[in-house]
């Protein structure tokens, strides 16, 4: 039985998601364990840093991303070209 590229890509993608989920569930206990080893003054610094990261993430996600406009016809009616565009310039007639 043959497999299509789409099947293989789907399996790989699902595998990455499963691995990411597994790593996320493994990292939290390690963080808590390391945090417990620190003195209270450093735990407070860790707390402040976590709060800073949360604010930074919220700020970045709340910023409106400019809408990207593009495509054919975006400059229609905004740019014009003179009818005598291809005519020689008056200043250069002496050199022609």
Nearest to 36 by CA among 25, 51, 28, 53: 28
The answer on pLDDT for 50 being more than 90 is yes
Give yes or no for residue 6 having a pLDDT over 80: no
pTM: 0.44
SS3 category, 8 = helix
For the chain, domain boundaries: 29-61
pLDDT at residue 43 tops 70 = yes
Tell me: the pLDDT tens digits for 55-85?
999 888 877 676 777 788 888 888 888 888 8
CA-CA distance, 81 to 85, in Å (whole number)? 7
Q: What is the pLDDT of residue 48?
A: 96
Better pLDDT: 9 or 48? 48
């Amino acid at each position: 039985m043959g497999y299509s590229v789409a099947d293989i890509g789907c399996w790989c993608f699902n595998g990455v998601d499963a691995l990411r989920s597994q790593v996320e569930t493994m990292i939290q206990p390690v963080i808590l364990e390391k945090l417990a080893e620190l003195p209270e003054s450093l735990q407070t610094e860790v707390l402040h840093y976590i709060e800073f990261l949360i604010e930074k993430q919220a700020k970045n996600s709340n910023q409106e991303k400019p809408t990207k406009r593009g495509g054919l016809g975006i400059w229609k009616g905004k740019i014009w070209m003179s009818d005598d565009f291809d005519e020689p310039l008056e200043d250069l007639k002496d050199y022609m």
